[in-house]
Chain A
Amino acid sequence: MKIDKELIEKVSRVARLNLHEEEKEGFLKDFKDVLEAFAKIKDIDVSNVDLSVHPIKFENVLREDKPEKSLSEKDIFLNTKHKEKRFFKGPRIL
């Protein structure tokens, strides 16, 4: 696994974060240090071990498909500046 500036740039694009040069250098060093420290997990044998997505087993919980009271239109838009008529307004797609 090659940890270099290209990798940091690729990950930051996927994560929707713009990084300036200084940040890229800093995070590159952090990636190297952290991944080296985390490499210990390689030695653990997990063949035939199931994943624990949660610490406790849960059944999939679905609610009945019945309409319930939801937030009012006023409340839904209370925290946004980007509203037009009854819609959130977003930036252009392309």
Chain B
Amino acid sequence: MDAKNILNEARSLNKRYNFFITINESFLEEPFLKKASGKNAKPSGKNYNEKVKLISVKDNICTKGLRTTAGSKILDNYVPVFDATVIEKIKGKYGVVGKTAMDEFGFGSFSTNCAFNVPKNPLDETRTCGGSSGGGAGYTYLSKYSDSSIGESTGGSISCPAAFCSVVGITPTYGLVSRYGLIDYANSLDKIGTFGKTVKDAVKLLNHIAGYDKKDSTSIKKTKEDYEKYLGKNSKLKIGIIKEFSNGEGISKEVEKEFWNGVKKLENEGMNYDEISFSLTDVFIPTYYIIAMSEASTNLAKYSGIRYGASDELKGTFNEYFSHVRSNNFGKEAKRRILLGTFMRMAGYRNAFYIKALKIRSLIINEYKKLLKNYDVFPKFSEIEKLSPVEAYMSDLLTVGPNLAGLPMISVPVKKDRPIGMHFIADHLQENKIIQIGDFYERIR
């Protein structure tokens, strides 16, 4: 294989689909390509080491020397001077082809809230890739050379684009993968995960990036696990289906039909399911958005036009200068979330919003934990359309619950090349179960 083909493919797909914000044009100079012999041998595309796999990386993950924008104009010219831990972990095993398109800072569910180009769905160019990790999911579906990608989810940003682009998406337990070097949206919700053409591809990449990291104080200390060993298993898991979602309003008939077809296939293979009730689904969306916006508003306070990111001529006082740079460079949705988040943390409102949401999160986690004592996995479906802010936020109903609770989840296409995902959720650190059932479902669908 000639590595030049990989770059050419990325460029040509990008021209048509806008999957990338930045293509790694120095790709052919990467150390892993230096297989040529001789003292003065230069890296050449023809010397591509086929043991090194190719991946794309969401553009909110810092890559040393490679522009990283988080999909925002305020970081348009930002070139990190360090690698995120996940990038350090894949060195020598995976090469990075480019940084993929996303909603600004992850603020969106459809990859349409982009400061740069909007990525197009690989199955139908008139539709969206889903978001916020849309570019990575779309590229993984179409690329001949790359079978996996690093994404990130705050409230569904891996499961949603995985479903829309008909690829597999794994969102691990909160804290399983280091967030060091991730440009934060909401610290207590953000999780780095993977996309794959198949469950196996997504699992292989997860194996490399999971594990404790002392640079992240929310990283879980646990023995390293080989997730590939859960592939190919036929053990029967007990399935719980949350009624409030499976019979929910606002779900298209076609999606609902495909979901139940998928459940029936699992049932035919001997996996039993019960329909169960979750009492707090009505408050998933407000609880999630109050916490996410509150955290986002503090995280975005660091963009002040001095040390990195967009800047301008130093005019006026500190506050005047910061406000000027921030107002000119944040998009509308970022401003909306900063304002709402700031409000919900302000004296007089904090207890009614932010603190209350953190308490409701405890109730949601407890309810999931209680139900997951009796069931191994919960399947759901992941699915969209011009929406008001409230309508757009409501569209996240199916994914924010497990994200609030930090539970691991996998989205597997209901059928090959169908933009609907079968979504399985398990208890904390039970990646084994979501991988087992995801892989099993992929084989029998």
On A, residues with C-beta under 8 Å from B are 1, 7-8, 11-12, 14-19, 23, 27, 30-31, 33-34, 37-42, 44, 46, 49-56, 58, 60-61, 63, 71, 75-76, 78-82, 88-94
A37 to B287, CA, bound (A): 11
Partner of B346, one of A11, A41, A79: A11
CB distance from B222 to the nearest CB of A (A): 11
Known contacts A34-B389, A71-B81, A79-B308; is A56 also within 8 Å of B173 by CB?
yes
CB distance from A75 to the nearest CB of B (A): 4
Q: Which 9 A-B residue pairs are closest in the complex by CB-CB distance?
A: A55-B406, A79-B308, A38-B286, A46-B359, A75-B81, A51-B358, A91-B321, A61-B217, A15-B342
B320 at the A/B interface (Cβ < 8 Å)? yes
Partner of A34, one of B81, B321, B359, B390: B390
For chain B residues 272-294, which have a beta carbon within 8 Å of chain A?
Answer: 280, 282-283, 285-287, 289-290
A90 pairs with B306, CB closer than 8 A:
yes
A17 pairs with B339, CB closer than 8 A:
yes
A44 to B356, CA, bound (A): 9
A7 to B353, CA, bound (A): 16
Total residues of chain B contacting the partner, CB 8 A = 75
Where chain A touches its partner, the secondary structure class is loop
List the count of A-B residue pairs having beta carbons below 8 Å apart: 172
Q: Given known contacts A37-B390, A91-B316, what 11 new A-B pairs fall within 8 Å (CB)?
A: A11-B346, A15-B338, A18-B323, A37-B286, A39-B286, A41-B356, A42-B352, A54-B174, A55-B428, A56-B218, A58-B217
CB nearest to A30 among chain B residues:
B389
A51 to B291, CA, bound (A): 12
Interface-side segment among B34-42, B44-52, B83-91, B324-332: B324-332
A41 pairs with B428, CB closer than 8 A:
no
B336 pairs with A30, CB closer than 8 A:
yes
A51 pairs with B362, CB closer than 8 A:
yes
B346 pairs with A92, CB closer than 8 A:
no
